[in-house]
Structure 1
Amino acid sequence: MGGDGKVLTLAQVSVHNTPKDCWLVINGKVYDVTKFLEDHPGGDEVLLSATGKDATDDFQDVGHSKSARDMMDQYYVGEIDVSTIPKKTKYKPPKQPHYNQDKTSEFIIKLLQFLVPIAILGLAVGIRLYAKSS
C-alpha cells in the first residue's frame, strides 16, 4: 500500500475535492484518486461528486470488479477517523393522521341520506310535469 497509514478526519479529506486534488473515503480508507480521474470509466464528475463524504455506498452500488478493487491499493493514503463521519439516519416519514375507513363510510352514508331523497323528489316533480304536459 502506498500510504503511511495515517488517520485522517473527514474535514481533512474534504478539502481535497478538485480535479487537481481528489480524495475519496471508501470502506474506512482514504484514497487519492487524482491521477485516476482521467481514466475512470464513469468520468471524473462521478469521483468529484463523491468527495467530502463517505463514498462507500456509491462505490458499492456500481458493482466494481475485483480488478478495480485491487487497483485501489496504489491510491491508498490512510484510514479515516470514523468518528468524524456523520451517522446515517434512517428516513422516517412525517407523522400523518390515521386513515379511518369508518369515518369515510359514515360520510358517504350521510351524503347519500341527503342526496337520495332530493333525487326522488326531483324525479317525482319531473314525472308530474311530464304528465301535465302530455
Structure 2
Amino acid sequence: PRRARTMVDAAFFRAGLRLICAFGCAALAASLRADAAAVAKDPLLSTLGQPLHVSILRFGALAAGIVLLVQLLLDWNVLVDPLRKPEAPPMPPPTADTADPLTYREDRGVTKAVPLYPRAPSSLAGGKLPEFEMAEVASHCTREDCWVVLDGRAYDITGFIDRHPGGVGPILNMAGKDATDVFDNYHAARVYKLMLPQFLVGEVTDVPAYAHVADFRALRQQLLQRGLFETDYRYYAKLGCWLALLFLGALGLATGQVGGGGSLARLSGAAMMG
C-alpha cells in the first residue's frame, strides 16, 4: 500500500541522514588527524592558511547563524506574539449536496475539500449499497473477521490488518466499532480515496450520534477550513538552521577550531553538543 511505502521511505530517509552524519563525523575526525600529522611533520603548513575542515566549521556556523537571524527578524512579530501569526484565508465551506457531500481533510500538509464518501468499487457501483446494523458490525470484531465503521459505512479490513503500518493493535481496538474520528485523525485524504474503496461492504443504518462527537467534528472542520493543520515550512527552515548552528558550533568549539581552543571554549562546545 502507498501509505506503507511512504512510512518505509521516511524510515530509510531518517536512517540515511544518520549515516551521513556518522560518515561526516568520521571524515572530519580523519581530516583533523591528517592535518595534525602534517603540521607535526612540517610546522610551516600551519602558517599557509587554515585547513578545509576549519573553514567549513567556521563559515558553516556563521552562515547558519546569519540565516537563522534573518528568519527570526522576518518573523519577529510572531515571536513576540504567536497569536499575530497570519492565517491563510479560510476555504469556502464544502457543499451540503446530499448526492455527493464534501468535507475537509488534510493531505500532505494542505487542507482539501474532498468527497465525504470514497467512490464505491465496481462490485457495488450502480445500485443501493447493502445495509447493516451496528449489532451485526459489532460481531466482526476479531483479527480473523474485522469490520470498522467510517462515516456511516462499513469496511471489511480483515485482509489489511497484518499490513497496517501502525500495527495490529490500533485496528483491533476499533474492530466492530465506529472508528470515524480515530481514522480521520491519523489518515490523509488520499488514503480515503485510494485505499478504502476496495474494503467497502455497505452502509450502517443505526450509527449512534452523540452530541459531544458532533461538536468535535464541527470544530475539526472549522480548524481545517482556517488552514490550522497546514504545514508551515518556515518552521522547519528555522529548525534546520538552528540545528546546523548547534552542530557546527559545537564541533568547532570542542575541537578548538573556533574560540581559540581554550578550556572554556571546549567546555562550551561540549555543552552545546550535549
Q: What does residue 64 of structure 1 align with?
A: 188
* Equivalent position amino acid for 1:61 in 2: N
Q: Distance in 1 between matches of 2:197 and 2:209?
A: 26
Q: How does 1:28-67 map to 2 (within 5 A)?
A: 28-66=152-190
Deviations 1:2-27 (A, max 9, x none): 45820100100110000000001001
Equivalent residues, number? 88
Aligned partner of 1:114 in structure 2 is: none
Which has the larger helix fraction? 2
Contact 2:154 2:204 in 1 (8 A): yes
2:199: which partner in 1?
Answer: 75
2:192 is the counterpart of 1:88: no
Q: 3-state DSSP class of the match of 1:90?
A: helix
Q: Deviations over 1:103-125 (max 9, x none)?
A: xxxxxxxxxxxxxxxxxxxxxxx
Structure 1 counterpart of 2:147, one-letter code: W
CA contact (8 A) 1:6 1:77 kept: yes
How many angstroms apart in 1 are the aligned matches of 2:212 and 2:189? Answer: 29
Measure, in 2, the Cα distance between the counterparts of 1:71 and 1:78. 16
Whether contact under 8 Å (2:152, 2:207) holds in the other structure is: no
Q: Is the 8 A contact 1:23 1:33 kept in 2?
A: yes
Structure 2 residue matching 1:41: 3-state secondary structure: coil
Offset at 1:65?
4.8
Q: 1:29, CA displacement in angstroms?
A: 1.0
- Alignment root-mean-square deviation, CA: 1.9
Contact preservation (8 Å) 2:148, 2:174: yes
| Cα deviation, residue 88, structure 1 | 1.4
Aligned partner of residue 160 in structure 2, secondary structure: helix
**Is 2:139 aligned against 1:9?**
no
Measure, in 2, the Cα distance between the counterparts of 1:62 and 1:40. 12
Counterpart position of 1:25? 149
Question: Any conservation in 2 of the 1:53–1:85 contact (CA below 8 Å)?
Answer: no
Give the equivalent residue in structure 2 for 1:118: none
Secondary structure of 1:22's aligned partner: strand
* CA drift at 1:50: 1.1
Larger Rg: 1
Checking the alignment, whether the CA contact within 8 Å between 2:137 and 2:147 is kept in structure 1 is: yes
Question: Which structure ranks higher in relative contact order (CA pairs < 8 Å, sequence separation ≥ 6)?
Answer: 1
Is the contact made by 2:146 and 2:176 (CA closer than 8 Å) also made in structure 1? no
Q: Which amino acid aligns with 2:138?
A: S
TM-score of the superposed pair, with normalisation by structure 1:
0.59
**Does the CA contact (< 8 Å) of 1:23 and 1:32 recur in 2?**
yes
1:76, 1:39 → 2: CA distance?
A: 17
Letter in 1 for 2:208: P
